[in-house]
Structure 1
C-alpha cells in the first residue's frame, strides 16, 4: 500500500491513486445494482412489461431463472470500471489543470467543477460505450443478444463493424455528461455547505466523520443526477435496442421520440432515483475511503 508521505498532490502517483479509486468506486457499485438496472432498462423499452421492480424480478426468475436477474453483469463490470477510471482520475486532473491555468477562478469554483467533470466524462464515455451497447442489448432482447460480453463484442463487430459499438455514443454523452457535471459540482457544493454548518472545521474532523459527509452529499447529488439524466437514459436504451443499422442518428431520435412522447422520457424514473442515489452515495463513500486509506484528503 502506498504511504501518505510518498504521495504528493497532483503528482503522477496522485492521479494513479485517484484513477484506481475510480475503478473501485464505479465497477463494483454498478455491478451490484445490475438487477435494478435490468428491470429499469426493460421498462424503458416497454413500460407495460412489469408492474413494479418486485414484479419484474419475480417474472424474470419464473421465466428465465434466478441467474438471469444479473443479465449484463460482465459488460457492466468492465464498462463502468473503465468509465470510473476516466471519470474520477480525469476529474482530478482537469480540475487542477483548469484551476491552475493562469485564469482567475476565484469565486467561480463551480465553473471549474463543471468544466472538469464534463471533460473527464467525455473521455470516459468513449471507453464505456462499447460495453454499454452490449449491456443494453443483453438486457432488452429476448432471448438475450449474447451469452457474455465477449461474444457480444464479437457479434456486434461481425454484423456492424466498429461503428456498432458507438451508435449510442451521442445519446450516452447527452446522458452522462450532464449527469456527471451535476454529480461532481453538486457534490462539491453540498459537502462544502454541510461543512460550513458544522460546529467544527473539516480539518478537525476524523476520517470517518469526513467520509460520512461524503456519503450524505453523494446521495443528495445522486437524486439530482437521476432526474436530470433520465430522458437521455431512456433514449440510450431505446437507441441501442431499436436503431436500424442504416438509420441516421437524427432520424432514429425523431422516430423514437414520436413513438414514446415526452412522458415516455420519464419511464423508469423512480427506479433510477433509487438506483442512482444509492450508486452515487456508495461511489463517493468508496472513493473517499480509498483516498484516506492511501493518505490523501477526502474530496470537497
Structure 2
C-alpha cells in the first residue's frame, strides 16, 4: 500500500466509523443540545426538565422525527470531520517519532490535539448548521436556510462563529479519546486476559467515553451556546462567564448526562467499527 493509498484508507475508515456513530446517536445529540441551550428561567435547577422529560417534550410537541434534526449535516460532518480527526491521528503520531510498541502519552496527546484542531476548524460551518437545526424552536428547516441567514447577518465569517471553542473541544476530545483508548485497551487486555478482539474494543471504548465526556463537557457547552447565540457572545470567555453568571459554576456541566449517554455509545461504535474497517483495509489495529 502506497503512502497515498494508506492516507486515503485512514480517512475513509475513520470517516465511515464516525458517520455510523453519528447516525446511531443523533437523538442523544439533539437532547444534549436542547439541555445545553435550555433557558435559565427556572426557579431552581430541580425545576428544569431533565433528560427523559426533555425527550418526551420533544416527541409530544414536535414529533418523533425532531430527534433526528440535523441528520444530513450530522452525517456529512461525521464523514469529513471524523475522517480528518481520526484519519490523521495515526499518521501524525507516527510522524512525531513513536511506534506501536513504545507508546508515549505526550506524543499521543499532541497528535490528538493537532488532528482534532485541524478537523474542527475545517468543518466548523457544518457543525454550526447542525446545531442551529437542532436548537429548540429553530426557525430553520434546511441547511441552506441556515447558511443564508448566517451569511446575511454576519457575513461568510459567521459560518466560523464558535471556531475557538470548537477547536479547543476537538483537540481535547481527540487527545483524550485516542490517548485514553490506547491506554484503556492495553489495561483491559492485561486485566481480563482477552486478546485484541471486539470484546476488548467494546470495553476500552466505554471507559474512553467516560473520560472524554468529563474533560470536554464544559468546552462543548460553550461551543454549543456560541453556535446558537450568534452575536450574543463576543468571545469564549464572555460566553463561559455568562453561563456561570446565570447557572453558577456547575452550569458548565449542564447536559453532562446526555453528553455521556451519547458520547459513551458513540465512542464505542466509532472504535468497534473503526477497528474492523482497519483490519478489512489492511491497516494496523489501533
- Give TM-score, length-normalised by structure 2: 0.89
- 1:148 correspondence with 2:142: yes
- In the TM superposition, 1:210-221 aligns within 5 A as 210-221=197-208
Q: Is the 8 A contact 1:99 1:105 kept in 2?
A: no
- The Cα shift of 1:44 comes to 1.1
Distance 2:180 2:135 in 1: 32
Partner of residue 33, structure 2:
41
Aligned residues: 280
Q: Paired residue for 1:290, among 277, 280, 283? A: 277
- 1:21 correspondence with 2:21: no
What RMSD over aligned residues (CA atoms) do the two structures have, in Å? Answer: 2.4
Partner of residue 80, structure 2:
82
Mean Cα displacement is larger for which, 286-295 or 243-252?
Answer: 243-252
Distance 1:118 1:141 in 2: 31
Structure 1 alignment gaps of length 5 or more: 1-6
Q: Is the 8 A contact 2:222 2:236 kept in 1?
A: no
SS at match of 1:18: helix
- 1:165 correspondence with 2:163: no
Q: Is the 8 A contact 2:140 2:146 kept in 1?
A: yes
SS at match of 2:273: helix
Deviations 1:151-202 (A, max 9, x none): 22232122211221111111112222112111011100111223334557xx
Change in Cα spacing, 1:195 to 1:157, as seen in structure 2 (3 Å) is same
Q: Paired residue for 1:189, among 183, 190, 205? A: 183
Mean Cα displacement is larger for which, 166-175 or 50-59?
Answer: 50-59
Mean Cα displacement is larger for which, 122-131 or 253-262?
Answer: 253-262
- The Cα shift of 1:28 comes to 2.1
Mean Cα displacement is larger for which, 25-34 or 246-255?
Answer: 246-255
Mean Cα displacement is larger for which, 275-284 or 236-245?
Answer: 236-245
Mean Cα displacement is larger for which, 45-54 or 174-183?
Answer: 45-54
Distance 1:106 1:64 in 2: 52
Q: Is the 8 A contact 1:79 1:127 kept in 2?
A: no
- The Cα shift of 1:127 comes to 2.4
Mean Cα displacement is larger for which, 182-191 or 151-160?
Answer: 151-160
Change in Cα spacing, 1:88 to 1:246, as seen in structure 2 (3 Å) is closer
Partner of residue 111, structure 2:
116
Q: Paired residue for 1:231, among 195, 207, 218? A: 218
SS at match of 2:49: coil
Q: Is the 8 A contact 2:244 2:250 kept in 1?
A: no
Partner of residue 127, structure 2:
132
Partner of residue 61, structure 2:
63
Change in Cα spacing, 1:297 to 1:106, as seen in structure 2 (3 Å) is closer
Change in Cα spacing, 1:295 to 1:63, as seen in structure 2 (3 Å) is same
Mean Cα displacement is larger for which, 11-20 or 238-247?
Answer: 238-247
Change in Cα spacing, 1:58 to 1:253, as seen in structure 2 (3 Å) is closer
Q: Is the 8 A contact 1:210 1:298 kept in 2?
A: no
